[in-house]
């Protein structure tokens, strides 16, 4: 189940930038999707999900994308707005 944030908050850092400081950059909000961000440079998305959902997912697990497509989990991020930031990408990307 997804958390429904009151506001999107500050844009999170891209997962790649979190682990490679020379490529540190922020993701951009996805239009019409509160609590969802995109990094078009690395084909990544991040979304706020509740802690129970995040705890049940591991890297490579299937994850429904915000647009209804099939995605896979990349990693968990920081706690945010009462949930956990979950990084994911489209399946096969």
Residues 45-67: pLDDT tens digits?
A: 999 999 999 999 999 999 999 99
Is the torsion defined by CA of 83, 29, 86, 75 positive or negative?
negative
Is the torsion defined by CA of 44, 23, 27, 56 positive or negative?
positive
Residues 10-57: pLDDT tens digits?
A: 788 888 766 777 777 889 999 998 889 999 989 999 999 999 999 999
Whether residue 5 is predicted with pLDDT greater than 80 in this model: the reply is: no
Instruction: Compute CA 36 distance to the chain's CA centroid, rounded to the nearest angstrom.
Output: 6
């Amino acid at each position: 189940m997804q958390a429904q944030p009151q506001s999107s908050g500050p844009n999170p850092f891209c997962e790649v930038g979190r682990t490679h400081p020379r490529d540190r950059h922020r993701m951009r909000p996805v239009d019409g999707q509160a609590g969802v961000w995109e990094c078009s440079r690395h084909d990544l998305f991040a979304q706020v999900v509740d802690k129970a959902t995040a705890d049940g997912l591991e890297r490579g697990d299937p994850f429904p994308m915000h647009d209804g497509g099939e995605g896979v989990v990349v990693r968990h991020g920081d706690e945010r707005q009462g949930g956990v930031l979950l990084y994911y990408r489209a399946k096969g990307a």
